[in-house]
Amino acid sequence: MIKTLADLNAAREAYAPTIGLRVGNLDAKEGKIRKHILICGGTGCTSSGSLTIREKLEQVLDARGIADEVKVITTGCFGLCALGPIMIVYPDSTFYSRITPADIEEIVDSHIIGGTPVERFEFHEQTGDHHAVAGLNDMTFYKKQHRVALHNCGVIDPENVNDYIARDGYQALGKVLTSMTREEVVQTILDSGLRGRGGAGFPTGLKWKFAMGSTGKKYVCCNADEGDPGAFMDRSVLEGDPHSVLEAMAIAGYAIGSDQGYIYVRAEYPIAIHRLKIAIDQAHNEGLLGENIFGTDFSFDVQLRFGAGAFVCGEETALMTSIEGKRGEPRPRPPFPAVKGLFGKPTILNNVETYANIAQIILKGADWFASMGTEKSKGTKVFAIGGKIVNTGLVEIPMGTTLREVIEEIGGGIPNGKKFKAAQTGGPSGGCIPASLIDTPIDYDNLLAIGSMMGSGGLIVMDEDNCMVDIAKFFLDFTVDESCGKCTPCRVGTKRLLEILDKIISGNGELEDIDRMEELCKYIQSASLCGLGQTAPNPVVSTLRYFKDEYIAHIVDKKCPAGVCKKLLNYTIDKEKCIGCGKCAKNCPADAIIKTDYVAPGHKLPSLTIDAAKCVKCGACMSGCKFDAISKQ
């Protein structure tokens, strides 16, 4: 039980050797332990079998008689999610990727016992035309990153509070409770320039200041709903470093005068929920949550509330309404939550990533945090990179890093020799950034200026094979499904907008439809009740702004330039290349491929052709042809 700050400092010193090998402190002795093996226990690696890897590893270590010399830790996400299962061996930082249980015996015998890493299981980073082994500390993926919110992910055991304490965990809470006033805490957050990482980018310290000035019962809420397609930043923090959120919420509680916190987390995050429950129990057992924390008169508790996956519940008033047990719908503002929020009481709501920065700011100072980033966007931002990119995963970069650096250097570029076409930031609420703006520094204001937004941090990369009209339809389709229906502009307006897009993609569009969409977008943006509706047209607005030629091609030429929209495609067989083997005909579900009377020079069988009237445009014929005789236009 930790009752005083002196107890916490003593615990930190006692637990420091337990993480020494992982953080480069080779002088730290931990009994007979000579190696740490960290296995990713995030959702991505767990789904690819990392827990089976751990089980096999422990069996082999025990069979070799060295289980007491090697410490095996399940940790959080390392960031390179497409490479799972990932296993890192310390102190040499050898990075193994895509390993299987069958690989473990060789790794243990050669590396753990013999001292020679197994190169073919190590991560090979592509540089130009070459592939070279890259250890954790040498990988280009990490070199331009600066981890603040993610500083413990992939380093500590998220289910062991001692690991967190050994990394200065709960020191910030101890500092504010024993040596800072509420006003000083709020001013520190204000001076840091931290803005909300959930999407809107509102200054965190200002939100806290408003709530501090309110009276009566108050609440601290955490938004862990994370509904954007392709976004998994908050989930990864909860899975890899749950105590950082609990500590920050307690600091926020002290700052505004609250003794109760709620974490609203979507039920589809079972690993995050499991680790949050463990972290809350451990914090209670150590006296870091509950009554009279650090021997002061400050008390604070945290409870979990589970969301059912409604995107609208990422909006702050809808989230609070859901916590209250009602249908998750937004409320008109003002009054704002800092005045009248959860249960009608003053409330602050920040998302997971925002809270993950708080303890670091308190310990290292506002100036330290403000020294990173740009003039109006301080600190770092976590992005989940997906789509047409080599290094799919999680990255944390200083604000102001260019899109080019993220895509070409950290992300490893576009695979298969394709060209970068666009990037979607901000999820369904964001916009598409064209290749011509790839050198744009990423921060709140720059993204808004070019028609996109930061959002929670999803970044979807697209290449030349993506149709931008189809992309706009994809995100709008999601928004239509997720609209709560409370206000007419969002409920009806987005549906009408989607109908026009369907019309264009089906080959029935008219040029006047472009004008109708632009007008409708303005109405939806200006008249919707909450941020979901107000930003819903952004994918359409941005693609019309930068890729209007593709809309025109769909409408006037009745063609999809990227060859994506099925109803505008035509499959043809080159009679000179076709050898008449008939494989395409066997694959065709519509019996649309027939023989011709023409035999190409050098071939023995008649070539084939496609009956356009029967063709369902599924592409089965093209995927099965080995002679590149079939093309789509």
List every span in the chain annotated with CATH 3.40.30.10.
32-138
- Which pLDDT does position 566 carry in this prediction? 87
Tell me if the pTM is above 0.85.
yes
SS (H, E, C) 145-161: CCCCCCCCCCCCCCCCH
Whether 398 and 147 have beta carbons less than 8 Å apart is answered as no
Quick one: CATH architecture of 380-557? Roll (3.10)
Residues contacting residue 386 through CB under 8 Å, at least 6 positions apart: 230, 392, 458, 459, 460, 461
Closest CA to 534 of 519, 543, 521: 521
Q: Angle between the 171-179 and 5-15 helix axes, to the nearest 10 degrees?
A: 160
> What class is the 570-632 domain?
alpha beta
Largest Cα–Cα separation, the chain = 93
- Which pLDDT does position 127 carry in this prediction? 52
Closest CA to 113 of 69, 152, 53: 69
- Which pLDDT does position 58 carry in this prediction? 96
CA–CA distance, 309 with 270 (Å, rounded to integer):
13
Residues contacting residue 322 through CB under 8 Å, at least 6 positions apart: 264, 305, 307, 310, 313, 328
CA–CA distance, 541 with 596 (Å, rounded to integer):
47
Q: How would you class 199 by CB atoms within 10 Å of its CB: exposed for 0-12, middle for 13-18, buried for 19 or more?
A: buried
Whether 251 and 172 have beta carbons less than 8 Å apart is answered as yes
List every span in the chain annotated with CATH 3.10.20.600.
380-557
CATH classification of 32-138, choosing from 3.40.50.300, 3.40.30.10, 3.40.50.970, 3.50.50.60?
Answer: 3.40.30.10
Coil/strand/helix, residue 446? helix
List every span in the chain annotated with CATH 3.40.50.11540.
161-370
- Which pLDDT does position 460 carry in this prediction? 93
The pLDDT averaged over each successive group of 10 residues in the chain (633 residues) is: 92 91 81 92 92 96 94 93 91 92 96 94 68 68 90 95 96 96 97 90 94 95 88 92 98 97 95 97 97 96 94 92 94 93 96 96 97 94 93 93 93 92 90 94 92 87 95 94 92 96 94 95 94 92 96 94 89 90 90 90 89 88 88 83
User: What CATH superfamily classification does 161-370 receive?
Assistant: NADH-ubiquinone oxidoreductase 51kDa subunit (3.40.50.11540)
Can you give the length of the chain in residues?
633
CA angle at 592 for the pair 589 and 596, rounded to the nearest 5°: 140
List every span in the chain annotated with CATH 3.30.70.3270.
570-632
